[in-house]
Amino acid sequence: MGVPVVTSRIAPGGVDAEPVTHFLVVDSAEEYSDAILQALDKPTERQRLAVAGRQRMLSNHAWPHSMARLDEIIDRCI
């Protein structure tokens, strides 16, 4: 979606992305609010996270990439 992401440690478990580089990880409600307020106060950092996260998802999790990986798995099983 092209928006910065603030998430818990558990939520991105199946996503091939790196904390801080592609999204922010927090553990408590206070950390959530602090991270969100920081993103709102720092437009450059907010934009960096938004772009980095979207690029990572498009390069590693878009349908064509995901389907190619699935094809490889099926080929190995056959």
Name the residue ranges covered by the structural domains of the chain: 6-77
Q: What is the pLDDT of residue 75?
A: 94
Q: What is the pLDDT of residues 10-43, one digit of tens each?
A: 988 877 788 888 999 999 999 999 999 999 999 9
Residue 59's contacts (CB-CB under 8 Å, 6 or more residues apart) are 65
Residue 19's contacts (CB-CB under 8 Å, 6 or more residues apart) are 12, 25
Q: What is the pLDDT of residue 61?
A: 75
Query: Average per-residue pLDDT in the chain?
Result: 90
Contact criterion met (CB below 8 Å) for 46 and 39: yes
pTM value is 0.72
Rounded CA separation 17/13 (Å): 9
Angle at 31 between CA 37 and CA 38, to 5 degrees: 20
